[in-house]
Amino acid sequence: MKAFFGTFLVGAVVLSAGVAAAVELPAAEANLPEVLQGYRAIAPAPEGVAVRVRAGRIGHMEIHLDEGAVYPLKGAGGDVLGFYFDGHGHYAYKPEAPLDQQTFETNLSRYAPTLRPANHEVGDLFERLVVFFAAPTLPELWETGTGTAKPIEPASRAAFDRIWKRVTEGSYLEFDHLACEARMNGGKLQYVYAEIEGEKETLGYTLDRMRGFDETLTTFAKYQGTDVRFTRTLSRLAISREGEGSFVWTLKDAHLDVATDDNRKGTIDSELTFEAVRGNLRVGPLSLVNGRDPYSYNWASEKNRLRVLKVVDASGADVPFSHRYDELLVQLPHPLAKGERIVLRFSTEGAIFTGFGGETIDNYFDLFGASWFPRPFGWDQGLYTFTLKVKTRKPYYPLASGTTTAFREDGDHYALESSSTVPVEQPAVFAGKYKNHEEKADGLTIRLHSYAMANKYVVEVLPGLARELIRYYRDHLGPYPFDELDVVEVPEYWFGMAPSGMILLPTQAYKPRQDWLAAYLTRGAPRVVAHEIAHQWFGHKLVPASLEENWLSESFAEYLAGLAMGAGETDERRVVGFKTMFAEWRMYTARDCPDLPLKAANSMGGPDGDRDRWCLLYNRGPLVLHMLRTMVGEEKFFAILRRYLEKANFGPATTEDLKAVASEVLKVDLGWFFDEWYGEGGIPTIHVEQKVEPGAGGGFVFSGRLEQPEGPAFKRIFVPFVLDYPGGTREAKVVFQDKPVKEFRYELREKPRKVTVDPSENNLAVYR
């Protein structure tokens, strides 16, 4: 199933007693293709039962079947895979945490205004409900042991078929893969999807303990000319993983061999080493595209198709598999114990050598972003070492992540080999009609890859800019994490990206200043370069442990880019520097950011959610880091970052880890700062009273009070006052407002000419 919604919202989900453990099939007899084929025949039982006043709860959803008929959904072998209800019922949904309630109600107002919450709860009547579960659950709703038998009417069956077609062909629910994985692997794996045809809104409810480990409530949008329903997230709550990790296995090492004879279609062979995260693992799920059709979201499209030819184990024995829904499900040769490793080899071929969106481009292709080789699902799919071989037909010049170990011309082809001995994620491959320029300095190789139309700006400016930025980051953050940096022009991107050891720049960043748009983008190109290079530390040397923690990548890279741009002599009439970036952060945060914390940046649904995410991560986040830096000082700020990177060491990290490191470096508990400025939203308004009076024993007294409203909006903050004296001397006094009303008093030797509160606007606050 393709994910068409955003990212998860934090929160806790307490599963009710109705969520049963997964039921294991007898593995010795189970055959993956046969099991899947049986599940794909899912249909309502021809006879159900009449029901009255049945109720069940799962997660934060209560379902009530007031009166009607319920029909179990069964596969060909009789396994119950869900149920269908036709009659009269109602539901109620209520998040528990205040932040979850806040984001839920904001999303409701945007995408489901007919659902009006009362006491943070929404409900609606419904006549039809379809529930799929990977493992049996909610028996109190569907078991047919009691009640009058009720044959399904043709009209009711037609209604089910209509809904199920919408679920499977509009949303591409991978129900057969999910049921097979849950029942063959057992344990606590579960995936529940409910489609509710409400009186006011049709909603989708998901409880996912297999892919995203979240609970979601969504509404839908269908756009003309598309073959998919787009979801609009109303609520997303993270589910506790209970020590099991996100997924059943992780990738530890990859040997990848890519070859194309026409730069359009080719082969991708992979030898992958996996490690089981949980025991008794019989089926392994992987992400792998079925194709790259630029005009369709349908995984079954034949355009630009990728086909799996074979999967074998280390001995060469065939491994059963299923490749659907942009997923690859493999049946393992034997049940894996927790921590056990296994080597599998995959042979694929297809016409996926396209541009980023699947378009065929005359002078370029990429293998990046989409799962072009099999790998585990999700944000924390794991970091892995790799070797990579790429063979392209001239004139397409190949580029790849990792350290280049070999490059040669082979007749009409180029052949490249690269590797990474440090664990990374998502190695990238690019090829095109590139002009290449290489420089070596300070033990680092920097290569630029652009097209023939690029002017000497590329060769003369970008290498030096990249080198100076790396020096700045190296001096402040520690050694550059890789041996090389490839700066690659990507013609169809309008944004920068940063695979390990690479930065990808849109074509506009390479062009001379030809018109107002090109001038604007060129003026911003150094800023993009600075941001993407910063990701080599915050994004690769340190990897956010979850999407909730993505500020550790994006906000840090953006703020560090600003500091790096401000470290040199920048003419801000021509190049965006720190002053301009800082002013933009403040403007967008005050004008456009929702009243939400950084930790909720990915919790908002729909197109407005993309704007919210950008505003929080790329504007509010840098301002929070600026507060931290000006609060603790330059030296200690970078000491915290260096220690944080050292501890991460090419691994996952969290904000809790950052809190611990900050407290370790500063020798004081700084947890409150992250709790209130990362974990909470809002911009405090501080009423300031101040005066300077003659002192009783001579000299002067500077005194006053700071006041914020009491309640959850209150934030602890260090407020600086700058005192300017006659003769040009200056002095700073800093007041720590640790309670809603804080009085202060300082004795002075002379009377200041002027007193200014926070003149450099260090704080994310409004002073009155």
Residue 20 has pLDDT above 50, yes or no: no
Give tens-digit pLDDT for 600-617: 998 888 778 888 999 999
> For residue 521, what pLDDT is reported?
38
Residue 14 has pLDDT above 60, yes or no: no
Cα–Cα distance between 728 and 340 in angstroms, integer? 70
Share of the chain above pLDDT 70, in %: 89
For the chain, the first-to-last Cα distance in angstroms comes to: 51
The answer to whether the CB of 488 falls within 8 A of the CB of 401 is: no
Mean pLDDT of 663-680: 95
> For residue 22, what pLDDT is reported?
39
Mean pLDDT of 549-570: 90
> For residue 378, what pLDDT is reported?
73
Find the farthest-apart pair of alpha carbons in the chain and give their distance in angstroms, rounded.
Answer: 98
Handedness of CA 292, 297, 301, 306 (dihedral sign): positive
Residue 363 has pLDDT above 90, yes or no: no
| Contacting residues for 8 by C-beta, under 8 A, at least 6 apart | 212, 213, 214, 216, 236, 237, 238, 547, 548, 602, 603
> For residue 515, what pLDDT is reported?
42
> Of 234-238, 306-310, 338-342, 738-742, where does mean pLDDT reach its minimum?
234-238
Mean pLDDT of 545-568: 92
The answer to whether the CB of 674 falls within 8 A of the CB of 659 is: yes
> For residue 278, what pLDDT is reported?
87
> For residue 712, what pLDDT is reported?
87
Give tens-digit pLDDT for 42-52: 999 999 999 99
The answer to whether the CB of 467 falls within 8 A of the CB of 484 is: no
Q: How confident is the model at residue 462 (pLDDT cuts 50, 70, 90)?
A: confident
Give me the amino acid identity at 394.
K
Q: How confident is the model at residue 510 (pLDDT cuts 50, 70, 90)?
A: low
The overall average pLDDT reported for the chain is 88
Mean pLDDT of 102-108: 93
> Of 57-66, 256-265, 292-301, 759-768, where does mean pLDDT reach its minimum?
292-301
Give tens-digit pLDDT for 183-218: 998 888 899 999 999 999 999 999 998 888 899 999
> For residue 271, what pLDDT is reported?
98
> For residue 170, what pLDDT is reported?
80
Give bridge partners of residue 436 from the DSSP assignment: 449
Tell how far CA 122 is from the center of its chain. Answer: 28
> For residue 607, what pLDDT is reported?
78
Share of the chain above pLDDT 90, in %: 70
Beta pairing class for 429-432 and 413-424: unpaired
Mean pLDDT of 253-263: 97
Q: Which of 215-229, 236-250, 458-472, 622-636 has the highest mean pLDDT?
A: 622-636
> For residue 572, what pLDDT is reported?
53
| Coil vs helix vs strand at 18 | coil
> Of 467-476, 520-529, 715-724, where does mean pLDDT reach its minimum?
520-529
Give tens-digit pLDDT for 378-407: 766 678 999 999 999 999 999 999 999 999
Q: Give whole-number Cα distances, 99 to 102, 619, 679, 713, in Å.
A: 5, 20, 9, 13
- For 27, the token pair is 């593995």
Secondary structure (DSSP) of 97-150: SHHHHHHHHHHHHHH-TTS--BTTBEEEEEEEEEEEESS---HHHH--SSS-EE
Cα–Cα distance between 463 and 487 in angstroms, integer? 9
Mean pLDDT of 419-442: 90
Residue 295 has pLDDT above 70, yes or no: yes
| Contacting residues for 458 by C-beta, under 8 A, at least 6 apart | 437, 448, 450, 510
Question: Which domains does the chain show, CATH number per domain?
Answer: 32-238 (no CATH), 245-433 (2.60.40.1730), 451-536 (3.30.2010), 547-677 (1.10.390.10), 685-767 (2.60.40)
- What's 168's DSSP letter? I
